[in-house]
Amino acid sequence: MSVPTVEMQGVGFHYPDGHRALDGIDLHVHPGERVALLGPNGAGKTTLILHLNGILLPQTGTVEIAGLPVRKANLTEVRRRVGIVFQDPDDQLFMPSVAADVAFGPSNLGLSGAALEARVAAALAAVGADHLGPRTPHHLSFGERRLVAIATVLAMEPEILVLDEPTANLDPAGRRELAEVLDDLDHTMLVVTHDLPFALQSCSRAVVLNRGRIVADGPIRRVLADEELMVANRLELPFGFDRRLLEQ
């Protein structure tokens, strides 16, 4: 087996009010894997992904990204390797133009001139947003802003792409366009989502969290087909879903 891109061992974290959000998390993700992080609200999914680039640091246990410990001394390199796309794209778009937003990260790492322009062009092309460069972000549709937010992360050339509820508030066309964009990327990917058909379409593995613990980890079709597991963890496939898709 390859060296894990993500390795969490015994990770525990509680908030100041005493709520234990993570309780002994062991998780290994290898290069090229696409993993759906599933579970009910409050299960610890967002807390987990915030540990991957050091927004939160473990109170117990360890987190490593491609062998590099996630600790204060390493945060610049860790954050270059791990790109997080947050649920609300407006959290990541704040410059006067799309191109300026996409350029912001790499320019802060010292990239400039033609190299920076090429990086921006490549990131926008990767999400099919080449034509949006001069536009003002807050004039875009929600789906367009979602794609631009992904481009701002891709411009940093991360090894790992983490998406928090990427289909939230997208219409069917926007959801399809997002799925097509992700299909064309070759990054190691972790996707936090309640959209189980999207998880099935985008990921081959599912990790189910509940009350800060991993309660299931395996091929996504097997996880979604386990009706007892689904009920116990408040996971539901949508009405009319063709369960034969879980048998392929």
For residues 230 and 24, what is the distance between their CA atoms, to the nearest angstrom?
Answer: 22
Question: Looking at the domain covering 6-238, what would its CATH class be?
Answer: alpha beta
What was the pLDDT predicted at 1?
Answer: 53
What was the pLDDT predicted at 2?
Answer: 65
Per-residue confidence in pLDDT tens, the chain, 248 aa: 567 899 999 999 999 998 899 999 999 999 999 999 999 999 999 999 999 999 999 999 999 999 999 999 999 999 999 999 999 888 888 899 999 999 999 999 889 999 999 999 999 999 999 999 999 998 999 999 999 999 999 999 999 999 999 999 999 988 999 999 999 999 999 999 999 999 999 999 999 999 999 999 999 999 999 999 999 999 998 887 878 788 76
What was the pLDDT predicted at 248?
Answer: 66
Would you list the DSSP string of 204-241?
A: SEEEEEETTEEEEEEEHHHHHH-HHHHHHTT--PPTT-
Which residues, at least 6 apart from 146, have a Cβ–Cβ distance to it below 8 Å? 89, 166, 170, 174, 178
What was the pLDDT predicted at 63?
Answer: 97
The pTM assigned to this predicted structure is 0.92
What was the pLDDT predicted at 91?
Answer: 87
Give CA 103 to chain center in angstroms.
20
Give CA separation, 164 vs 10, 190, 233, in Å: 23, 9, 19
Would you list the DSSP string of 41-77?
A: TTSSHHHHHHTTTTSS--SEEEEEETTEE-SGGGHHH
